[in-house]
Amino acid sequence: MSKKLKVGLFGFGVVGQGLYDVLHKTKGINAEVVKICVKHREKPRPIDKEYFTFDKNDILNNDSLDVVVELTDNADEAFEIVATALRKGKAVVSANKKMIAEHLEELYKIQQQTGSPLLYEASVCGSIPIIRNLEEYYDNDLLNSLDGICNGTTNYILTKTSEENKTYEDALKEAQVKGFAESNPRLDVQAFDPKYKLTILLCHTFGVFVKPEDVFNFGIQNLSAADSTFTREKGLKIKLIAHTSKLGDKIVGYVIPTLISPDNMFYAVRNEFNAVQLGAAFSDKQFFYGKGAGGHPTASAVLSDISALVYRYRYEYKKVEQNGTLPFSNEHLIDVYVRYPDESFLKELNVTDIQQRFSSSETQYVIGKVSIDSLLRANLNERNDVFIAQWN
Amino acid sequence: MSKKLKVGLFGFGVVGQGLYDVLHKTKGINAEVVKICVKHREKPRPIDKEYFTFDKNDILNNDSLDVVVELTDNADEAFEIVATALRKGKAVVSANKKMIAEHLEELYKIQQQTGSPLLYEASVCGSIPIIRNLEEYYDNDLLNSLDGICNGTTNYILTKTSEENKTYEDALKEAQVKGFAESNPRLDVQAFDPKYKLTILLCHTFGVFVKPEDVFNFGIQNLSAADSTFTREKGLKIKLIAHTSKLGDKIVGYVIPTLISPDNMFYAVRNEFNAVQLGAAFSDKQFFYGKGAGGHPTASAVLSDISALVYRYRYEYKKVEQNGTLPFSNEHLIDVYVRYPDESFLKELNVTDIQQRFSSSETQYVIGKVSIDSLLRANLNERNDVFIAQWN
Secondary structure element (H or E) that encloses residue B388, with its range? strand B387-391
Q: What is the 3-state secondary structure (H, E, C) of B122-165?
A: HHCCCCCCHHHHHHHCCCCCCEEEEEEECCHHHHHHHHHHHHCC
8 Å CB contact between A325 and A249: no
Q: Which domains does chain B have, with CATH numbers?
A: 5-119 (3.40.50.720), 133-294+325-391 (3.30.360.10)
A127/B282 touch (CB, cutoff 8 Å), yes or no: yes
Lowest pLDDT segment from A138-147, A233-242, B57-66, B254-263: A138-147
pLDDT at position A299: 86
Q: Please indicate if any CB of chain B lies within 8 Å of the CB of A318.
A: yes
Widest pairwise Cα distance in chain A: 71
Model confidence pLDDT, tens digit, residues A34-76: 999 999 988 888 899 999 999 999 999 999 999 999 999 899 9
Other beta carbons less than 10 A from residue B170's beta carbon: 14
Q: Which residues pair with A237 in a beta bridge?
A: A260
Distance, in angstroms, between B242 CA and closest chain A CA?
Answer: 19
Closest chain A residue to B28, measured at CA: A140
Question: pLDDT tier at A7 (50, 70, 90 boundaries)?
Answer: very high
Residue type, A97: K
In angstroms, the CA A172 to CA A189 distance is 9
Active site residue B197: yes
Residue type, A171: A
For chain B, give the number of residues: 392
Q: Please indicate if any CB of chain A lies within 8 Å of the CB of B345.
A: no
In angstroms, the CA B87 to CA B64 distance is 15
pLDDT at position B384: 95
Q: Please indicate if any CB of chain B lies within 8 Å of the CB of A181.
A: no
In angstroms, the CA B255 to CA B375 distance is 11
In angstroms, the CA B315 to CA A136 distance is 13
Distance, in angstroms, between A365 CA and closest chain B CA?
Answer: 32
Q: What percent of chain A has pLDDT over 90?
A: 75
Residue-level pLDDT, tens digit, chain B, 392 residues = 457 899 999 999 888 998 898 788 776 678 999 999 999 988 889 899 999 999 999 999 999 999 999 999 899 999 999 999 999 999 999 999 999 999 999 999 999 999 999 999 999 998 899 999 999 888 765 789 999 999 999 999 999 999 999 999 999 999 988 877 766 789 999 999 999 999 999 999 999 999 999 999 999 999 999 999 999 999 999 999 999 999 988 999 999 999 999 889 999 999 999 999 999 877 678 999 998 777 778 888 898 899 889 888 999 998 898 766 789 999 999 999 999 999 999 999 999 999 999 999 989 999 999 999 999 999 999 999 999 999 97
What is the average pLDDT score of chain A? Answer: 92
Q: Which residues pair with A338 in a beta bridge?
A: A366, A388
pLDDT at position A296: 77
In angstroms, the CA B29 to CA B177 distance is 35
pLDDT at position B304: 87
Strands of chain A (E only): list them.
5-10, 31-37, 52-53, 67-70, 91-94, 118-119, 143-149, 216-217, 237-247, 250-260, 273-280, 284-291, 333-339, 352-359, 364-371, 387-391
Distance, in angstroms, between A320 CA and closest chain B CA?
Answer: 12
Question: pLDDT tier at A183 (50, 70, 90 boundaries)?
Answer: low
Closest chain B residue to A131, measured at CA: B137
B140/A29 touch (CB, cutoff 8 Å), yes or no: yes
From chain B, pick out residues whose CB is under 8 angstroms from the CB of A290: 283-287
In angstroms, the CA B271 to CA A108 distance is 42
8 Å CB contact between B241 and B159: no
Closest chain B residue to A271, measured at CA: B263
Of A25, A139, A287, nearest to B28 by CB-CB distance is: A139
Contact map slice: A 127-146 vs B, CB within 8 A? 127-129, 132-133, 136-142
∠ Cα B68 B70 B71 (to 5°)? 145
CB burial class (10 A; 0-12, 13-18, 19+) of residue A63? Answer: exposed
Model confidence pLDDT, tens digit, residues B139-149: 765 789 999 99
∠ Cα B50 B56 B60 (to 5°)? 100
This prediction has a pTM of: 0.89
pLDDT of A142 > 90? The answer is: no
Distant-in-sequence, close-in-space partners of B126: CB < 8 Å, separation ≥ 6:
A283, B152, B274, B290, B291, B292, B293, B294, B297, B298, B300, B301
User: Hey, of B137, B264, B306, B326, which one would you mutate to test binding to chain A, going by the most A CBs within 10 A of its CB?
Assistant: B137
- Integer CA distances (angstroms), A104 to A109, A131, A313, B372, in order: 9, 14, 19, 52
In angstroms, the CA B68 to CA B13 distance is 16
Q: Please indicate if any CB of chain A lies within 8 Å of the CB of B296.
A: yes
List B160, B197, B237, B291, catalytic entry: B197
Q: Which residues pair with A309 in a beta bridge?
A: none
- Among residues A74, A324, A328, A62, which one has the least CA distance to residue A198? A328
Distant-in-sequence, close-in-space partners of A238: CB < 8 Å, separation ≥ 6:
A158, A161, A162, A220, A223, A227, A228, A231, A257, A258, A259, A260, A389
Q: Please indicate if any CB of chain B lies within 8 Å of the CB of A279.
A: no
A322/B28 touch (CB, cutoff 8 Å), yes or no: yes
